[in-house]
Amino acid sequence: MSEHEQTQSSGARTGEQAGGKTVVVVGAGMAGVQTAVALREQGWAGRILLLGAERHQPYDRPPLSKAVLLGKAEGSAFEVDFASLGIDLRLSCEVTGLRAGEHVLDTTAGPVPYDVLVIATGADPVALPGSEGVPGVHLLRTLDDAERLRPVLTEQHEIVAVGAGWIGAEFATAAREAGCRVTVVEAADRPLAGALPAEVAAHMARWYTDAGARLLTGARVAAIEPGAVVLDDGTRLPAGAVVVGIGARPATQWLVGSGIELAEDRSVAADERLRSSLPDVYAVGDCASFPSARYGVRLLVHHWDNAVQGPRTVAGNIVHGPAEGPVYDPVPYFWSEQFGRFVQYAGHHDDATDELLWRGDPRSTAWTVCWLRDGVLVALLAVGRPRDLAQGRKLIERGAVLDRARAADASVPLKAAVL
């Protein structure tokens, strides 16, 4: 019996013991795998079917822009024994539609019935208009993407990266480490324009130059041709390869027409328990937004920690029911490694209304920015100061009010700045 057949058999036996009730998890990334594992950990005895669109064993994505891309690792497969957990894993099985009234999924392998459905399809990278099909243009989202890009770095091509967000900075870091000449093109007036205010991002822009990368801001791509990127001012940038990192959108196109409510950003509009608008359907990870009582807004969080924390809430509500299941209202967290710096962010801030407080000199190698709302710490960005992040995250969870003068003194532990 093959490993896949053993996994199916194990899952089927578990389902029979529970009367055949089945949870189907769509998406075998971090959020999907963690949901399946959490269901078993929290006592779900029924069948669990995990569907993955890719051919690879489920893997972690953060190493793709680092170790895997640089050839320091062949992959980042999760160390999960699906067979021993009674999880039926089906690979190369893409879901194409949902017939909610019938409790059936349409897939490339045929219809799949479910009793409870968890949508964990993640997000798809945004393609640069006009770049589709042009030789030498790459996205970086999957293991196959990283494997196609690895020889490009090995051959030290001259590379143009489009987009100076988190993924653009991480890719530029890896490309410079590999010895490539790198130009990063950003349409906004600064890197990380969608995440950080100008006074913070301005200091991070210098990192590109210090690392030997060229950063062009306020530059829009007019066309991509074989071997070149043409900007709207007529500038032609030689490009042995082009890497596009201009954002990602929830992978929810297959849900259009299903009756499930989607938010304006195309995410599944989940409630505080990560339930969708349809009965017996949950959503988690990059494809789902949720209402945050902590921040008073609906959040869509495209980061690893959200894909780890959310599944516990989903599993708890499936196993125990909404009367006893947990509510999801985390302090969002993520990290990024770029140009020799470890950057961490926790919380959620509003540039227009929240007070920005510097902690340390941003011209140095280690500094922190705090955001306060009526004196309450709501978010912080820590560069090379992991202790600030660890303490600050706990203070955000508590809704702590800070003494501004003490908080601005980088020599004072952040936890000692609480009023």
> Per-residue DSSP letters for 130-188?
T-TT-TTEEE-SSHHHHHHHHHHHHTT-EEEEE--SHHHHHHHHHHHHTT-EEEEEESS
Confidence of residue 338 (pLDDT cuts 50, 70, 90): very high
Contact between 269 and 300 under an 8 Å Cβ cutoff? The reply is: no
pLDDT at 293 over 50: yes
Percent of the chain scoring above 70 in pLDDT: 95
pLDDT at 16 over 80: no
Q: What is the mean pLDDT of residues 74-92?
A: 92
- The confidence score (pLDDT) of residue 260 equals 97
Domains of the chain with bracketed CATH: 3-123+249-320 (3.50.50.60), 137-246 (3.50.50.60), 340-417 (3.30.390.30)
pLDDT at 1 over 60: no
Contact between 299 and 23 under an 8 Å Cβ cutoff? The reply is: no
Cα separation, 240 vs 225, in Å, equals 11
- The confidence score (pLDDT) of residue 20 equals 64
Q: What is the mean pLDDT of residues 113-119?
A: 98
Percent of the chain scoring above 90 in pLDDT: 81
Cα separation, 56 vs 335, in Å, equals 25
Return the HEC string of 97-125. EEEHHHCEEEECCCCEECCEEEECCCEEE
pLDDT at 11 over 80: no
Q: What is the mean pLDDT of residues 19-41?
A: 93
pLDDT at 204 over 70: yes
Q: What is the mean pLDDT of residues 230-252?
A: 95
Least confident range of 8-12, 112-116, 170-174, 345-349: 8-12
pLDDT at 302 over 80: yes
Q: What is the mean pLDDT of residues 240-248?
A: 93
- The confidence score (pLDDT) of residue 77 equals 87
Cα separation, 393 vs 378, in Å, equals 9
Q: What is the mean pLDDT of residues 354-382?
A: 97
Cα separation, 38 vs 41, in Å, equals 5
The structure's pTM equals: 0.91
- The confidence score (pLDDT) of residue 14 equals 36
Cross-strand pairs, 139: 244
